[in-house]
């Protein structure tokens, strides 16, 4: 039995509870549009687990599990999605801010990887299948391949970019195939029945980048169990059958099953879940006690103080 598996489960439960509460807060007008990661939690968690503390993590906007694992306080994530700039303040070390302009995080990450070239650290950047069509993504991958940078491009292939399906992002069968001719190795993981193997798949990929000091692109096919965001309605473009078939692939439920088969007890798992639910409830309560941000809060953390020649 590996305690690390229970730690993984704890962060999956934290993410699940965070997701649940964020959607409720959005419905009651406390949060803005929120992108659920339901079905994709293990992908993001495994990306964070694959790194050391001094490696760099460059997220897009669905990375709640990874950010919680790297130490982002849950109340600050609620603040971020409520449009409160102060939610950006407690960024974990070696972690870039949440990035909503699609694909642009790959350029930032490639710059980070360039700075890491002569160290033993690596950089991991996440992106969606839709982002893989953006010019910056091609430019970043090309640059990273030419300069042999230590960067792992990790694609969360949930097969939709809002309502645009995968077959309109690529004429290939996968994103890994799409980039297979760009001077870097690409790998794909498509075994939704075995979400626990995502940890070793992404862990090995990170090891490979660390050892070879060269870029690698990986893709994990993951079910998207919620709509794109709280502002979207997937039933307008996905069939009921497709949605209910995907629900059976809920990675957290399959991971629980995997742990029970390994002789962890339902009681043990239940206690971890209750603690996680409670931690997120406390974070929500704290978030709701915070005073409203002021106009000054919108820009007081935007500029480095020495750049302006004045202290904050
Ligand atoms: C530059 C830019 N163009 C358009 C958008 C609007 N937009 C938000 S999410 C999204 C789809 C992204 O899909 P994908 O990359 O597959 O990631 P997913 O959200 O499915 O995880 C789009 C087009 C944006 N945020 N940024």
Mean pLDDT of 109-123: 98
Among all chains, which residue has been given the structure tokens 């940078």? 149
Percent of the chain with pLDDT over 70: 96
Ligand 1 atom nearest the C-alpha of 35 is 19
Q: Is the pLDDT of residue 304 over 90?
A: no
The CA distance from 19 to 152, in Å, is 26
Which of these, 141, 123, 145, lies nearest to 133 by C-alpha position? Answer: 141
The dihedral region occupied by 188, where left means phi > 0, alpha psi between -120 and 50, and beta the remainder, is beta
In terms of pLDDT, which residue wins out, 310 or 217? 217
Mean pLDDT of 103-131: 98
Q: Is the pLDDT of residue 51 over 70?
A: yes
Which of these, 11, 67, 1, lies nearest to 35 by C-alpha position? Answer: 67
Burial of 1 (0-12, 13-18, 19+ CB in 10 A): exposed
Distance 166 CA to ligand 1 centre (A): 13
Domain locations along the chain: 3-308
Using most ligand atoms within 8 A of CB, pick from 162, 163, 167, 178 the residue to mutate for ligand 1.
162
Instruction: Look at 34-43, 127-136, 301-310 and tell me which has the smallest mean pLDDT.
Output: 301-310
Please give all residues whose beta carbon lies within 6 A of any atom in ligand 1, as ranges.
62, 100-102, 128-131, 156, 158, 160-162, 228
- What is the pLDDT, as a whole number, of residue 311? 44
This prediction has a pTM of: 0.96
pLDDT bin (cut points 50, 70, 90) of residue 303 is confident
Beta pairing partners, 127 = 155
The average confidence (pLDDT) of the chain is 95
Distance 161 CA to ligand 1 centre (A): 6
- What is the pLDDT, as a whole number, of residue 186? 98
Annotate the chain with three-state secondary structure.
CCHHHHHHHHHHHHHHHHHHHHHHHHHCCCCCCCCCCCCCHHHHHHHHHCCCCCCEEECCCCCHHHHHHCCCCHHHHHHHHCCCHHHHCCCCCCECCCCCCCCHHHHHHHHHHHHHCCCCCCEEEEEECCHHHCHHHHHHHHHHHHCCCCEEEEEEECCEECCEEHHHCCCCCCHHHHCCCCCCEEEEECCCCCCCHHHHHHHHHHHHHHHHCCCEEEEEECCCCCCCCCCCCHHHCCCHHHHHHHHCCCHHHHHHHHHHHCCCCHHHHHHHHHHHHHHHHHHHHHHHHCCCCCHHHHHCCCCCHHHHCCCC
Q: Is the pLDDT of residue 307 over 80?
A: no
Distance 5 CA to ligand 1 centre (A): 32
- What is the pLDDT, as a whole number, of residue 285? 98
Distance 127 CA to ligand 1 centre (A): 9
Ligand 1 atom nearest the C-alpha of 131 is 15
Q: Per residue in 271-285, pLDDT tens?
A: 999 999 999 999 999
The residue whose C-alpha atom lies closest to atom 7 belonging to ligand 1 is 102
Fold of 3-308: Rossmann fold (3.40.50)
């Amino acid at each position: 039995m590996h305690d690390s598996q229970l730690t993984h489960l704890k962060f999956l439960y934290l993410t699940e509870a965070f997701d649940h509460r964020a959607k409720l807060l959005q419905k009651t007008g406390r949060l803005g549009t929120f992108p659920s990661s339901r079905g994709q939690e293990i992908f993001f968690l495994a990306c964070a687990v694959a790194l050391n503390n001094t490696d760099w993590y460059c997220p897009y906007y669905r990375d709640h599990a990874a950010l919680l694992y790297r130490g982002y306080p849950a109340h600050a994530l609620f603040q971020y999605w409520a449009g409160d700039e102060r939610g950006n303040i407690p960024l974990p070390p070696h972690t870039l801010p949440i990035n909503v302009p699609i694909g642009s995080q790959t350029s930032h990450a490639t710059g980070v990887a360039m700075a890491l070239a002569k160290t033993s650290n690596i950089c991991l950047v996440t992106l969606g299948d839709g982002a893989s069509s953006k010019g910056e993504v091609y430019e970043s991958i090309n640059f990273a391949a030419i300069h042999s940078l230590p960067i792992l491009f990790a694609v969360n292939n949930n097969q939709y970019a809002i309502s645009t399906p995968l077959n309109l992002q690529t004429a290939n069968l996968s994103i890994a195939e799409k980039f297979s001719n760009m001077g870097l190795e690409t790998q794909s993981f498509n075994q939704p029945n075995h979400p626990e193997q995502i940890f070793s798949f992404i862990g090995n990929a990170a090891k490979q980048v660390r050892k070879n000091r060269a870029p690698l692109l990986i893709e994990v096919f993951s079910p998207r169990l919620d709509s794109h965001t709280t502002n979207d309605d997937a039933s307008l473009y996905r069939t009921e059958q497709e949605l209910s078939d995907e629900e059976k692939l809920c990675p957290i439920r399959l991971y629980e099953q995997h742990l029970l088969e390994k002789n962890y007890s339902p009681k043990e798992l239940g206690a971890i879940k209750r603690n996680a639910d409670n931690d997120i409830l406390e974070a929500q309560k704290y978030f709701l006690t915070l005073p409203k941000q002021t106009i000054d809060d919108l820009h007081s953390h935007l500029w480095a103080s020495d750049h302006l020649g004045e202290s904050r």
